[in-house]
Amino acid sequence: MSDNLAVVLKRSVQAQPVAKDFEVVSKPLPVPGAGELLVRSVYLSLDPYIGSRLRNKHMGESAPGAGESVPGFSVAEVLESRHDGIAKGDYVVGECGWAQFGIMAGASVRKVDPSLPLSAHLGVLGMPGLTAWAGVTQLAQVGPGDVFMVDAAAGAVGGTAGQIARNLGARAVGIAGGATKCALVKDVYGFDAAIDYHQPDWIDRMVAATDGGPSVHFENVGLSVLLPALKHLRLNGRIVLCGLAEHYQSDAPPPQMPVGTIVGKRARILGLVVYDYYARWAEWVDLARPWIEQGKLAFGEDIVDGAAQAPAHFEKLMRGKNLGKALVRMGPDR
Ligand SMILES: NC(=O)c1ccc[n+]([C@@H]2O[C@H](COP(=O)([O-])OP(=O)(O)OC[C@H]3O[C@@H](n4cnc5c(N)ncnc54)[C@H](OP(=O)(O)O)[C@@H]3O)[C@@H](O)[C@H]2O)c1
């Protein structure tokens, strides 16, 4: 067990990250100190925020330098514990970088139920699922009668958000890029409608599918969807500002919204930061678990095998080409 494949940054990242920015190396097996865990990563989560973090643009979290480990969360098996309350054989979600074996701080991990699919703890039950839950139920307070619209709807956040809204009695309309993503949104996630925003008439289709416009719009992409969504938002509608994926790699001035339209619509603009909801993770898992068991909450996953595939898979995510939650299988489940 001395071989530990890990991915480090080869050079500092100035623009949209590409596979060549990374390097796969073999590292010695780390030794846990007091309060720490030695873990074996089972799945590594690849998330859009890592691209911003590598460019020093994510909520004050510093970027790693050349030769340093790439940040990322994994669901992992505990091999050795020096932290009270966590034992060898437990499964946890925590940060140990892009590596087969790593060290996690015992106080910062989340213990998870290994009887559920392990990968789900990074997607639908993980940070993206919690984000969707927070935006739909806590900020927009979606319920029966709402027409809920979300973009990046094939992704982990968007796909989960639309299904939550639908399970709570709303009509769910998803916006996604391309026919394959739209098929996932409609046929697997069960949205009422899916609109391909690469088609020239997509705004007309969006207006028709929302019967004049959404009462709630959940934004993951940026101005190309947000502005038409705001223009057609119903009076007193709500907009959850969750992500701006199309702007993350840009050095242009921050995207602006037309404040006059917000006033005219009597709209409520709701900014979402998932960190505010970490203390309430169990509420989401308790709600989601029966939905998953009853087939009312599906999740799409885009999985590759092995640490060596992580750089190319991350580049795919950065280009918005992933189909569902982007994951790397780092080793066997058990
Ligand atoms: N506020 C928070 O606390 C919080 C927490 C978690 C995630 N987020 C945000 O939520 C959004 C969705 O997250 P996710 O993990 O579920 O990701 P994701 O949807 O799997 O990936 C992002 C999607 O954004 C779309 N996109 C449009 N233009 C893009 C571009 N230029 N580059 C890359 N992607 C582009 C693509 O979908 P289409 O092809 O369908 O457009 C892409 O698949 C992201 O913006 C993320 O940063 C926010």
In tens, the pLDDT along 158-208 reads 999 999 999 999 999 999 999 999 999 999 999 999 999 999 999 999 999
Task: Give the ligand 1 atom nearest the CA of 243.
Answer: 45
* Ligand 1, atom 31: closest residue by C-alpha: 246
Report, as an integer, the average pLDDT of 244-256.
92
How sure is the predictor about 115, in pLDDT bands with cuts at 50, 70 and 90?
Answer: very high
pLDDT, tens digit (0-9, with 9 covering 90-100), for 22-76: 999 999 999 999 999 999 999 999 999 999 999 988 888 889 999 999 999 999 9
Query: Could you give the percent of the chain with pLDDT greater than 70?
Result: 99
Average pLDDT over all residues of the chain: 97
The answer to whether the CB of 226 falls within 8 A of the CB of 254 is no
pLDDT at 254: 87
Cα–Cα distance measured from residue 215 to residue 210, given in angstroms and rounded to the nearest whole number: 9
Does 49 contact ligand 1 (Cβ within 6 A)? Answer: yes
Does 182 contact ligand 1 (Cβ within 6 A)? Answer: no
Q: Are strands 325-329 and 301-305 parallel, antiparallel or unpaired?
A: parallel
Indicate the pTM of the whole model.
Answer: 0.97
Does 176 contact ligand 1 (Cβ within 6 A)? Answer: yes
Report, as an integer, the average pLDDT of 140-151.
99
Cα–Cα distance measured from residue 225 to residue 203, given in angstroms and rounded to the nearest whole number: 9
For ligand 1, the distance from its centroid to the CA atom of residue 242, given in whole angstroms, is 9
pLDDT at 2: 54
Report, as an integer, the average pLDDT of 87-96.
98
